[in-house]
């Protein structure tokens, strides 16, 4: 399995413990499409936000980094050759824009293997 992308809503901060989050939407990377595209542009010097995504761990992107992530997606899209690759990028971009619209309490989780 590749890197799944989740749009999460952050709930109210409790007095003790972790702040609860709810997965609102998810793009599943069952065929390793997203992780394969990430590998093609990794450490290119043009994608610092994409480079933060670890395909073997969980990564959270929030705040201004969501906008930077969206700005870097066209670079990633240049590596997309097939229709499934292009659809995957489009779905991730759509979800990322939803996150950006509600940035105060939403963030992106990248769930690696």
Q: Please give the pLDDT value at position 18.
A: 80
Q: Please give the pLDDT value at position 42.
A: 85
Across 29-36, average pLDDT: 93
Cβ-based neighbours of 106, under 8 Å, separated by 6 or more: 7, 8, 9, 10, 24, 98, 99
Is the model's pTM score more than 0.75? yes
Most confident of 13-22, 35-44, 83-92: 83-92
- Give me the helix-helix angle, 33-41 and 83-101, nearest 10°: 90
Q: Please say if the pLDDT value at position 15 is more than 80.
A: no
- Does residue 110 contact residue 11 with C-beta atoms inside 8 Å? no
Computed over every residue of the chain, the mean pLDDT equals 92
Q: Please give the pLDDT value at position 59.
A: 96
Q: Please say if the pLDDT value at position 13 is more than 80.
A: no
Domains of the chain: 4-111 (3.40.1760)
Which pLDDT tens digit goes with each residue over 43-87?
Answer: 878 899 999 999 999 999 998 899 999 999 999 999 999 999 999
The 3-state secondary structure of the chain reads CCCEEEEEEECCCCCCCCCCEEEEEEECCCCCHHHHHHHHHCCCCCCHHHHCCCCCCEEEECCHHHHHHHHHHHHHHCCCCCHHHHHHHHHHHHHHHHHHHCCCCEEEEEECC
């Amino acid at each position: 399995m590749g890197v799944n992308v989740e749009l999460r809503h952050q709930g109210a901060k409790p007095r003790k413990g972790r702040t609860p989050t709810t997965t609102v939407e998810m793009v599943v990377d069952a065929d390793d499409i997203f992780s394969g595209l990430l590998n093609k542009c990794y450490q290119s010097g043009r994608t610092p936000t994409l480079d933060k995504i670890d395909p073997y761990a969980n990564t959270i992107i929030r705040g201004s980094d969501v906008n930077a992530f969206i700005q870097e997606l066209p670079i990633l899209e240049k590596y997309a050759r097939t229709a499934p690759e292009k659809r995957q990028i489009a779905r991730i971009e759509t979800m990322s824009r939803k996150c950006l619209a509600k940035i105060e309490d939403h963030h992106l989780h990248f769930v690696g293997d």
